[in-house]
Amino acid sequence: MLILNNNDRRPLHVRLYDQIKNQILSGKLPPHSKLPSIRQLSSELSISRNTVEYTYEQLNTEGFIYSKPQSGYYISSLNQEFIPCPSQDPLTSKQPFEDEKPCSFDFHPAALAPDSFPSKVWRKLLNECLQKNTEQLTLYSNPQGEIELRCMIQQYLERFRGVSCNPEQIVVCCGLQDNLSVIAQILRGTHSVLAIEDPGHWIPRSVFLSYSFFINPIPVTSDGISLNSLTKTNSMAVYVTPSHQFPLGNVMPVENRLKLIHWAQTVEGVIIEDDYDSELRYHGKPIPALQGLHPGGNIIYIGTFSKVLSPALRISYMVLPYRFLSIYHNLFRNYASTVSLLEQKVLYEFMKQGYWEKHLRKMRTMYKKKHDALIRSIESHFGDRAKILGQGAGLHVVLELTNSRFNENDLITRAREKDVRVLPISDTYQSNNQYPPRVLLGFGSMSPDELDKGIELLSQAWEI
């Protein structure tokens, strides 16, 4: 017997199709039994004949039923051995998945200010691109990214980051994960042992492990990754954030950068330089990229527009040495670009017309005010109960509690009880190093007043 559920808001033919199919798979409708005629079933269920006819035709096409001329539709004979056991319908699950409730004060280390995106300018440029690039929007884009955008990126990198390259070396990608996935496929045949900073970013670790790389965690010192520890491993590649180490915020001095380059030359290794948070430096000039010290070496440079413009755009880039550029072309010559052509066109105009540099200056000023407000709030509410690590750049600091009786889990739990979200620093460690209670505190998404209130609540939550 077929009965349609009136509480189900899906189309009638979908409901009828699912019910007949499920009764066939469960054996309630035995093989070679005849289904009601189209006219009969439409009358019984008070639905149109077209709905029944469409459903029967779909089931017939998929092989659940078959037709006999001048007779009607019959149930196909299916081997019960190969029919999977029924599982619980997720639509009727008694315990649906629920996202974690957001907190009023969120110290996520990579969140941007809600009003920071230049939506008015972006909308104007988007409309302009739609009007003058109509024909191109019916085509596939260059796998490496549009050449005019790569030229603008090359000019920006040369002027502001000290990177020396040609536009043909630049590959536009869809965020850090996409960058690293491409790099992993280029390197895994010859450089499958990778050293990473410990603590360090969790995304590189996850991506390279998924491509079966062997990972060597290397401790981080005040001068960045420990070169003494690196040279004692069998690593053939290393992932570093030399201009603003994540998460501790250390800067690798030029002497260590030259030593790292020498290590790569000695072992014929590869340096993957992630220029993390490089644009957001609040005291002194931005630190030039390591790549500029040896442009002809095996240094793969990675940058992104996520930290200053928008992570939702999913636009990043990398600079490949010529040695790896040929490997890239062999591996990805049949691939299409992972970044929307329209967004590439808009970003090109955004940079060409000077909006990018203007936006960068504006964001650096805004986030410096927030950074300084956070530092003042911590000093005011915590005093000597806490130390601040990694200040002076980026979108986060590390807060280290002194003489605290709480472990990391206690800190996070007690903070959430005060409607405050902080992230654990343990996620950035691969080894089981012992360190004082620490958490990541991002300041990008909140106003100075919200930052002060959030720090005040944390001080109360973590009071001994």
What percent of the chain has pLDDT above 70? 95
On the question of pLDDT at 95 being above 90, the answer is no
Mean pLDDT in residue range 75-80: 83
Which tokens go with 272?
């993957």
Q: What is the spatial distance between Cα 400 and Cα 332, in angstroms, rounded to a whole number?
A: 45
* pLDDT tens per residue across span 371-427: 999 999 999 999 999 999 999 999 999 999 988 888 888 999 999 999 999 999 988
On the question of pLDDT at 81 being above 70, the answer is no
Name the pLDDT band for 431 (thresholds 50, 70, 90): confident
pLDDT value of residue 12: 84
Domains present along the chain, CATH in parentheses: 12-92 (1.10.10.10), 105-111+358-461 (3.90.1150.10), 119-353 (3.40.640.10)
Mean pLDDT in residue range 170-174: 96
Q: How many beta carbons lie within 10 A of that of residue 419, not counting itself?
A: 15
- Annotate 15-49 with DSSP letters as a single string: HHHHHHHHHHHHTSS-TTPBPPPHHHHHHHHT--H
Q: What is the spatial distance between Cα 196 and Cα 431, in angstroms, rounded to a whole number?
A: 11
pLDDT value of residue 9: 76
Q: What is the spatial distance between Cα 171 and Cα 179, in angstroms, rounded to a whole number?
A: 9
pLDDT value of residue 285: 77
**Helix residue ranges per DSSP H, 167-308:** 176-187, 202-210, 227-231, 254-267
pLDDT value of residue 140: 82
On the question of pLDDT at 194 being above 80, the answer is yes
* pLDDT tens per residue across span 311-349: 999 999 999 999 999 999 999 989 989 999 999 999 999
Which tokens go with 268?
């014929």
On the question of pLDDT at 100 being above 70, the answer is no
On the question of pLDDT at 150 being above 70, the answer is yes
From 209-218, 273-282, 294-303, the region with the lowest mean pLDDT: 273-282
Model-wide pTM > 0.85: no
Question: Do the beta carbons of residue 442 and residue 109 sit within 8 Å?
Answer: yes
pLDDT value of residue 1: 67
On the question of pLDDT at 85 being above 70, the answer is no
Q: Which residues, in sequence order, are bridge partners of residue 317? A: 172, 303
Question: Do the beta carbons of residue 197 and residue 225 sit within 8 Å?
Answer: yes
Q: What is the spatial distance between Cα 204 and Cα 211, in angstroms, rounded to a whole number?
A: 11
Name the pLDDT band for 82 (thresholds 50, 70, 90): low
On the question of pLDDT at 284 being above 80, the answer is no
Name the pLDDT band for 92 (thresholds 50, 70, 90): very low
pLDDT value of residue 87: 56
On the question of pLDDT at 262 being above 50, the answer is yes
The secondary structure of the chain in percent helix, strand, coil, rounded to multiples of 5, reads 45, 15, 40
Mean pLDDT in residue range 253-264: 95
